[in-house]
Amino acid sequence: MAVQFQCVTRTALPVQELFDRSLSIDGHIASMRHSAERAVAGVRSGQIGLGEQVTWRARHFGLPIRMTSRITALESPRFFIDEQVTGPFAFFYHLHEFRVEHGQTVMVDTVRFRAPFGALGWLVERLILGKYLRKLIEIRNQHLVSNEAVGGKEPR
């Protein structure tokens, strides 16, 4: 059985700007400094696009992790989907949606994944991985809406 969660982020940034920041390999790397995440294959800098993939290497839970994901759907600036091609999960799906509500940009991340741990997987998914992944998404999103995401410049 898979785990699913959503993270909602609200900002004054224009929807197109947040959408573009969300596709930035460099922005993702900067937001994940604590895990030493880096792009080692595929699109390694700049903006990733439809059908393109990136291979990430990082340390999580003290373990080296390698994961390749591909952008499988994209409609600017409404949404894009990235999915694991190879990596530590039985499957990993991440829908990024963007809309404007009451003058603010709203970004909704919906993540669905399943751990590869067999019978004990559901326990690991719910007690550890779900909370951990939610926190990673929240950290990433706070970075994306910060001035730091654009080198300290004020957002437009």
Task: Tell me the domain boundaries of the chain.
Answer: 3-150
With bands split at pLDDT 50, 70 and 90, how would you rate the model's confidence at 121? low
pLDDT at position 152 over 70: no
Angle between helix 130-144 and 15-22 (nearest 10): 130
pTM: 0.89
pLDDT at position 153 over 60: no
**Topology of 3-150 in CATH?**
Alpha-D-Glucose-1,6-Bisphosphate; Chain A, domain 4 (3.30.530)
- Between CA 69 and CA 55 the distance in angstroms is 6
